[in-house]
Structure 1
Amino acid sequence: MNTPRETSGTRAAVERWSAAPLAFLGGLPRWVLLVAVFGLLVIGMVGTGWVGAAGLLALLLVLAWFAYLNWPALETPGRILRVAAMVALAAFAAGHVL
């Protein structure tokens, strides 16, 4: 397992900025985030054109934010899985636009 390192620069700024939104999300019932993610996924898969792409890109941004915050604690398989999920979402979003 990776050992915690001291953060500096951009990572520290993102972690400070993320503290309030994460505290807010942590205070919500667990089902709210699940419904929001599922809703964005449904919009992305059912929607056409820019509407579908926007839903998938919003989901991609949330996933990328969480992946960035968790990256130092992840092992290689977890990192690969997150990158693969982000690439798949980006490809599906591009497919809606093209």
Structure 2
Amino acid sequence: MPNYKKNPVKGIPIGIIGPDALVKKMLKVIQNFPSFYPIPKVYQMEDEAPGLAETVAAEVEALILSGPMPYRRVREETRLNVYPLCASYGYGVVPGLVPVKKPARTE
């Protein structure tokens, strides 16, 4: 779970994964939600999405993926325990909003 005591003012950390143009659009939309703190991750090729999701998963409470294909790849190619949700912001549906559930510790 992210350490909110480090930066309690930032808000809920949300990972945003996609190509540069779509990440920029999603960042503009998420500005309307001051309780979210976006952590953008940009890829050049769609096959980079699973690796970026694994990289940012420890820092975020949810991921927003730029479309159905990167969403599917993250679901199928990672060990993240994610559940699909859809969020509507008045701009249509933002595809691939998924909460990140951290695996239980085995200590």
Query: TM over 0.5: same fold?
Result: no
The structure with more radius of gyration: 1
* TM-score normalised according to structure 1 size: 0.27
Higher strand content, 1 or 2: 2
* TM-score normalised according to structure 2 size: 0.26
Higher helix content, 1 or 2: 1
